[in-house]
Amino acid sequence: MDIQKILEEIQSEVRPLLDQGRVASYIPELAAVPADKFGMALCTVDGASYVVGDATERYSIQSISKIFTLTLAMQLAGENLWQRIGREPSGNPFNSLVQLEHENGKPRNPFINAGALVVTDVILSHLDNATQTVRDIVRALCGKNDIDFDLSVAASEQATGHRNKAMAHFLKSFGNLDNDPERVLDAYFHHCSLAMSCLELCEATLLLANNGVAPVSGDRVMTPNQVKYVNSLLLTCGTYDAVGDFAYRVGLPGKSGVGGGIAAIMPGHFSVCVWSPGLDPSGNSLAGIRALELFTTRTGISVF
């Protein structure tokens, strides 16, 4: 199977979709990203990699960072983590306050914003510097020591993230944040501002396709059970309130971010990442989802 040719064909086919989505204008720094960007990369567990378009250009990965923070929190807190966070799809927008109140301050899953804030709080309770630790983990996973936060994006989110701030204080009011909400928010905004390319994201998430072993270093980072848990949550909760449609069309566990990126996993085989800043109404990359759908359809490879 000629993966490179398939990716090139997909890039050409989705190009007309690039101007149909809307960039995340509520974060001013993301609003400035050109909507015509498109990149796609794929890395296999046996060391092959393929790239097209803007796949080596770094962008703000936003909620894709929740893969790494969840992995760390699971290692630090174990099963106790799930006393504070659920494992069910939300069925609501990723920043919903209504659902959080209805469920007495226990977020539905770790990939919506409220859940990610609790995950960040757990990390802060165990580590002196949750911000730098997550960055260093990502650097180690893909072997790139210059990966860093986009501080202008972090500052932009800090200045305009009023709903996230309300959510953090709301969680605190229910007793589901142990640390100061402003400290949690600062770490959370920095995690979301991590700047990585599609190729680097593929390399960093490849351990989820490789049974918990990071191919770059050869180190075991996660147990097989932890890999199962994270991949199952990606499949059922990774693309906000569009998880059913994503599973139907793409058929892979995946995590999206409002920066326009989507990282997806085929356990035992590969990780694939796509970037197109234009979003659909659910906050997922419009052209990115189509590109992944075309890939699994043409290759016949999915978890189903």
252-272: average pLDDT: 97
Q: How far apart, in whole angstroms, are the C-alpha atoms of residue 180 and residue 198?
A: 34
8 A C-beta contact, residue 216 and residue 162? no
What was the pLDDT predicted at 145?
95
pLDDT tens-digit map of 37-80: 999 999 999 999 999 999 999 999 999 999 999 999 999 999 99
List the structure tokens of 48. Answer: 């092959």
Q: How far apart, in whole angstroms, are the C-alpha atoms of residue 103 and residue 106?
A: 6
The arrangement of strands across the sheet holding 194-196 comes to 59-60, 194-196, 148-149
Q: What are all long-range contacts of 123-129, with beta carbons under 8 Å and residues at least 24 apart?
A: 123/69, 123/72, 123/73, 123/76, 123/187, 124/178, 124/179, 124/183, 124/184, 124/187, 125/178, 125/179, 126/76, 126/77, 127/76
Residue 96 has pLDDT above 80, yes or no: no
Quickly state the pLDDT bin for 216 (edges 50, 70, 90).
Answer: confident
What single-letter amino acid sits at 191? Answer: H
8 A C-beta contact, residue 108 and residue 89? yes
Q: How far apart, in whole angstroms, are the C-alpha atoms of residue 37 and residue 39?
A: 7
The arrangement of strands across the sheet holding 254-256 comes to 49-53, 39-44, 270-275, 261-266, 254-256
Kindly report which listed range (85-89, 102-106, 132-136) carries the lowest average pLDDT score: 102-106
> Can you say how many angstroms the Cα of residue 258 is from the centroid of all Cα atoms in its chain?
9
Quickly state the pLDDT bin for 94 (edges 50, 70, 90).
Answer: low
Residue 103 has pLDDT above 90, yes or no: no
* pLDDT top residue among 100 and 115: 115
* pLDDT top residue among 145 and 94: 145
What was the pLDDT predicted at 241?
84
Q: With 0.85 as the threshold, say if the pTM is over it.
A: yes
What was the pLDDT predicted at 90?
80
Share of the chain above pLDDT 70, in %: 98
Selection from 204, 248, 260 nearest residue 230 by Cα = 204
Quickly state the pLDDT bin for 240 (edges 50, 70, 90).
Answer: confident
What was the pLDDT predicted at 104?
86
Quickly state the pLDDT bin for 26 (edges 50, 70, 90).
Answer: confident
Quickly state the pLDDT bin for 101 (edges 50, 70, 90).
Answer: confident
Residue 86 CB coordination number (10 Å): 16
285-300: average pLDDT: 98
Residue 95 has pLDDT above 70, yes or no: no
What was the pLDDT predicted at 55?
98
Partners of 261 in beta bridges = 275
Kindly report which listed range (85-94, 160-169, 182-191, 263-272) carries the lowest average pLDDT score: 85-94
pLDDT tens-digit map of 104-133: 899 999 999 999 999 999 999 999 898 999
What was the pLDDT predicted at 272?
98
